[in-house]
Chains A and B, each alone.
Chain A
């Protein structure tokens, strides 16, 4: 009797979105409490792919921790590599040759394009459109081929080294990049016609999942999510690193805060990244790719170090505490999607199931990065 009365007043049911579910692109589990098609509560449950990267950082030497970086966010691995090597360079005071910096930025931005392309495809797949995914993969494949020809791997790159790079790029790579940009430039209008302008897609995105700048600040959301809510914050501009101050690019900001704004931010970022890559190719200096004096044994002075970079999904920051030994005393990785996901519970209240999934897709979650 009692339970019946309860169920009459509170007619909700729970469904599991994940850990194995076509919409979550990985092993994220979201416990949904539903009232019919409406979401009463959405509780993300994490930890299904936790690999203790932070602890590994405290148990490995600085150099041995390098390959871990590509495994945190496998879609924009180079940004994470960059963040880590720059942190170590900051700690040790290593000067990086200019050519190496240019190649780093070039490859990072190529990686950002590939990451956004994959997001674009997967997002439209979440909304039920299959074909754009394959078109995006077609383009992305060209980037992977290019990056493979310099770094040797396709996804979990380990290309940057303390003080420089693993190996130099050749002219074939640079002309390949130019050709690819030309190709992508001709493909972008097609994407906009096929997807951005599509009335069904607009209906599903415009006004769905509005995030205020206030809420983004509350949960520490960064990257395209924050910029889609009208806040002009990009680590590349606000705390410039590497050669970004020398490059001319804009930070796309949309003030609507809905899924469409986040979509447009990412699409515009692809264009901006293309501009950056072009400038890098044009300005590419000759010279060394590795600093002449890199200490064999990395033992930073006692202290607290912090470095942040703009990864494809937001601010990736590392805080490392060194006690003067050859491995970190404390390694803290700030992964952007973890913060971006944390606002999901509050923001998705009262949404329709289909809208909640469109909203989740617009956050661009990479689950291994959330769990680390």
Chain B
């Protein structure tokens, strides 16, 4: 048998497990973290520190009956949760986790299928997420769900623009859409990462924050969770979903958070490269562990943000996108373009 095929199958299984496991245990992290932020204990009954809680929740969700309300558009209603989960798993295929970094396989890259247009593919699939919202809300025949779907779409469109513009800036700097190339261009200590201006990203920290905000908004996380504003729209687009229909939306949300954090890490925080220069022993080595550390720190920030801020309104959300984020992203793009492309062209 082709060794390549074995590699593929193994990685696909691994990725699905990673996506599902992350979704399940991020719920635990979120609940436990929220509890500690609010001076509570959080889940503690099922297993030590409530660690088996996600499995119990999953078993509960799977054993529930799927309710189809009267008058829904059934095919679309069933399709919507899949649109939430499948693109998320697809994206994981192209995300490189980095080399092992130690032991006998130190140079072995952990990635299912690296692509030379990886970033483009991720952005393309990420935009399918909006589709899930729209279909779920539209097909439910529920007014709250429809309002939520419309909100979700206008939010998704508004924030995709600055997201893509900032990503283009990075692509321009690295000269590649391949994620591993983008990461390797940032090697050699944290000052070389793209969130610092050294690489040519003119307003580095600003563009990092712009990207991070867009990632929050794209994944419908608080404070941008207008679609699920429970004080206004009950549960928003998934009001009518039960059982695993709801479960898939839920898992899709958390899988998207992991993807967003991974992408932010790859584009701005140097992926799997170490924050220390290469001559530092042990800590200087690139490893997927650095990558995981970075994404989980980002995810913790996301969780912390959710449990700190109130929700924005649709208007101020769109204002934020069109009046602040897009101008900043554009200026950054132009500035970087001048710095990297035009100045060398003029021989400066």
Contact = CB atoms under 8 A, between A and B. Distances in A.
Interface string B289-326: 00000000000000000011111111110000000000
A130 interface: yes
B310 A129 contact: yes
B310 A128 contact: yes
A198 interface: yes
A131 B308 contact: yes
Contacts of A13: 143
Given A15-B144, A21-B234, A200-B311, A128 B222 contact: yes
Interface in B36-53: 37-40
B29 to A, nearest CB: 16
B229 interface: yes
B232 A23 contact: yes
A29 B308 CA distance: 29
Contacts of B308: 129, 131, 194
Interface string A289-327: 000000000000000000000000000000000000000
Given A22-B231, A198-B309, A355-B313, A15 B143 contact: yes
B311 A129 contact: yes
B38 A125 contact: no
A216 B341 CA distance: 63
B309 A203 contact: no
A131 B231 contact: no
Interface in A117-165: 124-131, 134-135, 138
Nearest to A129: B310
B38 A135 contact: yes
A34 to B, nearest CB: 8
From B151, B229, B232, B308, name the one whose CB has the most chain A CB atoms within 10 angstroms: B232
Given A128-B222, A200-B223, A352-B315, A357 B309 contact: no
Contacts of B313: 203-204, 352, 354-355
Given A13-B143, A135-B38, A200 B310 contact: yes
Contacts of A200: 223, 309-312, 316
Given A22-B234, A200-B223, A134 B310 contact: no
A124 B232 CA distance: 13
Contacts of B226: 354
Interface residues of B, number: 28
B34 interface: yes
B37 A203 contact: no
Interface string B219-235: 00011011001111010
Contacts of A15: 143-144, 147
A198 B310 contact: yes
A354 to B, nearest CB: 4
B311 A128 contact: yes
Contacts of B312: 200, 203-204
A213 interface: no
A23 B314 CA distance: 18
A310 to B, nearest CB: 29
A23 B231 CA distance: 5
From A37, A352, A354, name the one whose CB has the most chain B CB atoms within 10 angstroms: A354
Main secondary structure of the interface of A (DSSP, over half): helix
Contacts of A201: 310
B34 A127 contact: no
A357 B307 contact: no
Contact of B223 (A128, A131, A353): A128
A124 B309 CA distance: 9
Interface string B123-162: 0000000000000000000011001000100000000000
Contacts of A195: 310
Given A127-B231, A353-B232, A37 B147 contact: yes
Contact of B231 (A128, A194, A355): A128
A52 B143 CA distance: 34
Contacts of B316: 200, 203-204
B231 A130 contact: no
A140 to B, nearest CB: 13
Nearest to B311: A128
A280 to B, nearest CB: 30
A353 to B, nearest CB: 6
A22 B310 contact: no
A354 B314 contact: yes
B147 A128 contact: no
Nearest to A15: B143
A224 B163 CA distance: 43
A194 to B, nearest CB: 7
A226 B223 CA distance: 31
Nearest to A32: B143
A354 B232 contact: yes
Given A13-B143, A15-B144, A353-B147, A204 B310 contact: yes
A104 to B, nearest CB: 33
A270 B151 CA distance: 37
Contacts of B143: 13, 15
Contacts of A198: 309-310
Interface in A23-46: 23, 37
Contacts of A37: 147, 151, 314
Contacts of A127: 231, 310-311
A138 B39 contact: yes
Interface of A: 13, 15, 21-23, 37, 124-131, 134-135, 138, 194-195, 198, 200-201, 203-204, 352-355, 357
17 contacts: A22-B230, A23-B231, A23-B232, A37-B314, A127-B311, A128-B229, A128-B309, A130-B34, A130-B307, A134-B38, A134-B40, A194-B308, A195-B310, A198-B309, A203-B313, A203-B316, A352-B313
Given A128-B311, A201-B310, 6 more contacts: A128-B310, A129-B310, A131-B34, A352-B314, A354-B229, A354-B232
Identify the 7 closest CB pairs spanning chains A and B, nearest first: A128-B311, A134-B38, A129-B310, A127-B310, A23-B231, A354-B313, A128-B310
